[in-house]
Structure 1
Amino acid sequence: MQIDGNVAIVTGGASGLGAATARHLAANGAKVGILDFDGAGAVRIAEEIGGVAAQVDVSDDAAVDAAITKIEQALGTPRIAVNCAGIGTAARIVGRDGKTSFDVFRKTLDVNLFGTYAVMTHAARRMMELASVEGERGVIVNTASVAFQDGQLGQAAYAASKGAIASMALPAAREFARAGIRVMTIAPGLFHTPMMESLPDDVTAQITSNIPHPARLGAPEEYALMAAQIVANPYLNGTTIRLDGATRLPPR
């Protein structure tokens, strides 16, 4: 599917991978709607790229539907949806003091998994009503993490949420195949995002030493390029692509 002239929505578009994706899609001719919990950040990026912003908590199904309606009314029905919204959490299942972390687990799944599912659901429903163009009505790109396979100590909640996102790709792609909608997942490794930027230099150096090649953090623009390549390649469907410089996360 071509990017130029089509409407795209990007969740988590106020920063990091989402902002890079929104910029890349807009630079390639897409009309972009940005959904983010950070409303001011979403407006800032939208103004930069000539798009439309909607403040939303993606874990709220009704709010997601309303936010996509806002984008649809302003730009048209999206044919491209990229889910980058998410939270990174770290907590032991049972802490050293015996404290459990069910609240962390629930919150992580609410945002990462249920948020992705809600956006995919409401985007796909709208895409189904569009006319088919060369056999396609839409493309949905979800974001997992290499933690879905290499989850580290303290990442049970995060890994579970990202593993579920990866697992959804094939059944969702099979369900939407008749409508001409593709579903793919990107599993990023260690990327230069706001979360990583907050770490001390020595910690960042230790992390990057575990990345074979290129031996550096991934650039958000490289994630954006992967998302655009998925949109452009009609035979990519129903699977998860690791984007990680061949890294494998150690146990801790």
Structure 2
Amino acid sequence: MKPTVRTLLERADLALTLLTDDVLLDPAALDTAVPWVHSSDLADPAPFLEPGQVLLTTGTQFGVDAGHDDPAGFEAYVERLAGAGISALGFGTEVVRAGTPTLLVEACARHGVPLFEVPYRTPFIRVARTVAALNADDSNARQAWALQAQRAISLAALRPDGLGATLAELSARLGTWVGLVDAAGALDREAPAGGLAQPALGEVVGEARSMLRRGQRASRTLEAGASVGAPQRMTLQTLGAGGALRGVLAIGDSPSSTRRAARS
């Protein structure tokens, strides 16, 4: 699983403290995947940030004297970070400032930017290494899963009903509905049987027939069942060479993919 802001907050070894009231945040704000952690005390680090990153700062750009803090300066700073699409801002305390500036907490709350406090005993590099390690673990796990799935599907193809077994194995591995529409535009087989109800099933078959009539290799994404308020994202891919299509493979989004799409 990819690291998120919530993942970092839950790690006792980092001892991070969320300062933004989560009631003021988007429900998915703490669960967005974090690709990287960047640290900067620039007054405007936005040009050097990418969406999803976590930014860490000690607050040098705000000055040492809290009595001369400029509310407009904090507002503009957080506004720029929000525009850059960062996942969260971490403030390192006891380096320049004793505690996190109240004006920064208030500005982050107004712009919906999660703000957490990084204690002096937690080096910024430890936060960055934690995210890097978790992303590496996630990548390794995905590669291992892909190899296992490939092997299982290859073995399924050797069974007596190789095609049916392959679709069943693919469905089980992805945790979703898989269907095959033949060259004549009929649903040849599906896994699990009856796993996709009407009208979604009819919409998938109808779109597959349209793709077959065009006779060209293509892929489509379809929100099936939207007319009855139960949309299911389906990916359709033609099989065979252009001009001699053998059918269309339809695969529904897995539950994990649906959750990722909802968070994005």
TM-score by length of 2: 0.21
Higher relative contact order (CA 8 A, sep 6+): 1
More strand, by proportion: 2
Q: For the pair shown, which has the larger CA radius of gyration, 1 or 2?
A: 2
TM-score by length of 1: 0.22
